[in-house]
Amino acid sequence: MDRVTTGIAGLDDMLQGGFVPNTAILVEGAPGTGKTTFGMQFIHHGIAQCDEPGIILTFEQFPRQYYRDAANFGWDFRRWEAEGKLRIMMTSPEVSQAFFQEAGGQIEQLTREVGARRILVDSISHFERLAADPVHLRQLVYSFINGLKREGLTAVLTRENVALLGEAEGQDESVPFIVDTYILLRYVEMDSAIRKALLVLKMRGSYHDKDIRRFTVTSKGIEVHSKFEGQEGILSGSPRRMAESFIEAFVRR
């Protein structure tokens, strides 16, 4: 089967080669876990290795901040822009949303202009200010994601998770149902050090590795390592609540 590789060491193996083409992937995590890095790496790898141009749609950072952050990892986003393989666009969720309700909107134009196959949306949390009502929010995000799919894009959507360690309380839980793949980035406290863990919670239409893996952010980007062994408290941050939250996370979906 055809796969969209991420270029993230260790992750593609967990996903049977990569993401399923033309699907939406939610990458959720606490502040600073590496969501933006994950997304930039996905875009960079697409352009540099797969000849798949990309778009970054952002609601919070100017393009120049991506240029700078990407340069830290040795990814020359300015060059991709100049070569017409990348477009970085900062706008608002309401405008992005409206683009898909009318033909010929800016996102559609950019997609066609560069022949984009991949998109990073950083971050989808900003949609939450468009609708207080969870049902309405779900509809908004759903139609937005459909718009991306209609353009044939494989989309990585990031989302902030307010809980640093352990479970998030009171966050809207409908988005994970809408997406095809759901990846969680977590801080975990182990041996009195804070580490980072990655977990693929769901992947529609494919087998995936269900281990909780340690990952690091290096000067080359994200690297996913071996699984955490015998660490039952990893998901919740506390060993006791862990079994509970683990079951909830898997069984509810």
Partner 1 sequence: MNDVTRRLMTDMDPDLLTFLHSKVTSFVKWDLIRFFHENPHTADTAENIARYAGRNVEMTEAELVELTELGVLVKNQLGSMVVYSLSNDPGIRDLIRRFAEASDDREFRRKAIYHIIRGMR
Ligand X SMILES: Nc1ncnc2c1ncn2[C@@H]1O[C@H](COP(=O)(O)OP(=O)(O)OP(=O)(O)O)[C@@H](O)[C@H]1O
146 binds partner 1 (CB under 8 A): no
Applying CB under 6 A, which of residues 192, 219, 226, 230 lies at the interface with ligand X? Answer: 219
Q: Tell me the closest approach of the beta carbon of residue 112 to ligand X, in angstroms.
A: 28
218 binds ligand X (CB under 6 A): yes
Cα 129 from Cα 94, distance rounded (Å): 9
64 binds partner 1 (CB under 8 A): yes
85 binds partner 1 (CB under 8 A): no
- The answer to whether the beta carbons of residues 13 and 209 sit under 8 Å apart is yes
Cα 40 from Cα 56, distance rounded (Å): 8
213 binds ligand X (CB under 6 A): no
Between the alpha carbon of residue 79 and those of residues 85, 86, 100, 119, 240, the distances in Å are 9, 9, 28, 18, 49
Which entry of partner 1, ligand X, Mg ion, none binds 7, CB below 5 to 8 A by partner kind?
none
31 binds ligand X (CB under 6 A): yes
Q: Tell me the closest approach of the beta carbon of residue 27 to ligand X, in angstroms.
A: 9
Applying CB under 8 A, which of residues 98, 190, 243, 247 lies at the interface with partner 1? Answer: 98
Rg (the chain; Cα; Å): 17
* Largest CA-CA distance found in the chain, in angstroms, rounded: 54
Cα 200 from Cα 212, distance rounded (Å): 8
Provide CB contacts within 8 A for 64, sequence distance 6+: none
Which entry of ligand X, partner 1, Mg ion, none binds 32, CB below 5 to 8 A by partner kind?
ligand X
Q: Which token pair is 153? A: 């894009």
Task: Tell me how many residues contact ligand X (CB under 6 A).
Answer: 14
36 binds ligand X (CB under 6 A): yes
Applying CB under 5 A, which of residues 6, 23, 33, 36 lies at the interface with Mg ion? Answer: 36
Which entry of ligand X, partner 1, Mg ion, none binds 71, CB below 5 to 8 A by partner kind?
none
First to last CA, the chain: 25
Which residues contact Mg ion by CB under 5 A? 36
